[in-house]
Structure 1
Amino acid sequence: MNKIKPEQLLELEQPFIKVPNEQLKKTLRNQTKYLEKEISNINDKIEDCVKKAKADRITSSQAMAIIDELLVRLRKLGRKLDDIKKEEQLYTTRTKIRLEHLKNTSQVAPTDKEAFNRWSKLRLDRVLVDYMLRKGFNDTARKMAEDSEISEMVDVELFAQSARIEEALKQHSCSECIQWCSDNRNSLKKLKSTLEFNLRLQEYIELVRLGKKTEAIQYVQKYLSSWSESHLRQLEQAMALLAFPKDTLCEPYKSLYDSRRWKKLIDQFKADNFALCCLTSQPLLSITLQAGLSALKTPQCQQHEDKNLNCPVCDTSTLGALAENLPLSHHVNSSIVCRLSGKKIDENNPPMLLPNGRVYSLQALEEMASKNNGYITCPRTGDTFELVETRKLYIS
């Protein structure tokens, strides 16, 4: 009987709720920072104007120009607040829809097959969209989300932003990722991330690679000197890099020039981004598949003599390859399955012993005998017997 266990499902679904919640918190932080800065600048401008007016150091036309400038800034601030409000509503609505979905999930009755199938289909669509987003198939993922009407249950915008930054890093540009680090500096600090330092270091290395040594030294003084306490050894190596050509074979300078550092930066950005957004490091599809395959995996799986026809773990050409390194499941009670039909052996389908010592289910042998004039052929040994020669076994 199909049954959803909410407490187990929530173990897998934590990012489902946390992602829009974290994005909402980030929006609120940025909003507060922006408002404080703009209002402070406007107040300073007004106070300066008032002081000049009291001291008769400003003409009426100059005052009107300042007022016009303030009105422009206030209108711009109003438009910005409207955009922020829309963004807040987006994440608030998204959170409500996801919470309602999880609430409805807990109310799906085990006997309601139709409701369970609807839930399964929706979850499968979500898992597939998540997988495609992580693999870079953003357009396909967006189209599938729209067609399945689950746009509020997936995070297309988040992965689209991530894809733009990753693409920039592939093109050997750090600017976009550095801006992302600036926007998330406090959160990255809590994670003890070294991403921003590594990005700055890479920009310095590229200046040295191009032979712009004076600019490289100025870059270190401006952007890297503040990291001297925590990354002194790396900075010493970076400064020594000035004395080595880009084709050097001397370590660690050869590794600093290595273009594979860009791949490491992409991997570090993805890891930090997932951590900030409370996303799992692996796609939900992989996690779900691994959990399911591990639950099915037994010591008999993939054994030539014992493999089951309907067992996905036993099929080494498909899912069996994924299950190869997964742990075995823990079963308190065993189930015996007929390797001829793939059906469960129980009191309604008892085990039957052939003269050669092989055991199959009664239903499978009866079906075979009905097609072969009362004779059965053992699929493993090729021996042929009459059905009446079999003996019923009793399992204690």
Structure 2
Amino acid sequence: MELDKIQDAFDRVHKKQKLSSSKTQELVDQIGLEIEQAMTKIQSTENISCSDPKSILVDLKAKLNEIAPMNQLEVLQKDLNVTLGKYVRLLEKNFIPDISKAHRNVDFDVRIVNQIIASHFYRQGLFDLGDCFIREANEPEASALKSPFLDMYKILEAMRCRNLEPALSWASKQSEWLMQNGSNLELKLHQLQFVEILQNGSKRQVAINYAKKYLAPFASAHKVEIPKLMGCLLWPGRLHESPYADFMSPNHWEKLAEEFIQQFCSHLGHSYQSPLSVTIGAGVQGLPTLLKLESVMARKQEWQAMKQLPVPVDLGSEFQFHSIFVCPVLREQASDENPPMLMPCGHVLSKQSIAKLSKNNTRAFKCPYCPLEASSNQCRQLHF
């Protein structure tokens, strides 16, 4: 799909539409001006004696005929229609309206799919829509997915109002888990709270007491951040004038909200991104290849019965996940005893597959996916 060409064609349509609209408005204004001038002449008591209203109207008609508004509008509309027609044809060429051709009869667990959809609505904050979907899908058990995301959005709403107490309470309860997960979320929340105390004009001693209670436990592990925060104590109520004004940047709040969502979802056992969004995004990227493949298949039955695609479907790096490896030859999940092995050609098979192909590591073998040969001692174990 040539997106650049489509964008250029759209820009031409947009430019032509703006030009047509501008010219049309100028034409309307010109006609209105001629009519107003004629009416002024007719209503003028000074000119009524020496001017015949009929002659004024005849002059007006002549001027309007000279302007020829209908002809000008037709030309403008014709130019716009030509440009728009080219854009429509380009869209029809690059976008296949019937994407159902790429559909394959795959068995899905309907309940799991419904839970994924409901979870997507809840994690987006669309609680009414999620409740409606659960009712219509008759999946009352999925309502349990709602409660934690309600809590998450309550905390986020408080953060938008510069109230960090709910977020600090959550981080305090999950302090040990956050540390094990390598997250500094709790410290960052306390940093923002410390800055808010100073900037709101509170007495310096209030900020010092807060630092002793909540920041001191992080001092040994964060020997750069904590001293910088202590420097803020010299500028209570006027941090915006200090060398530490960056601490007041709204970006800190935005980034911290994103990090909070990430850690909150991770604690629930959910990915940061919605599985439904990721699936649809990957599907959009892979759809052109699937549609082209389906169009060249000799028989529809082959397409439906196919267990593995004969061509690779290239997706962006954001859709490459390697936490679990399944050997494409043996179709078994990797384990400590049967780890994934990287061959010199760049393809990956399980250790047992390589052993079988190499007759227990006694001879070279050809990669199942490319014509290159390899030996077992050239293969290296991958660690995910």
Fold shared per TM-score above 0.5? no
> How would you bin the TM-score normalised by the shorter chain?
0.3 to 0.5
When normalised by structure 1's length, the TM-score is 0.43
Q: Which has the higher contact order (CA 8 A, sep 6+)?
A: 1
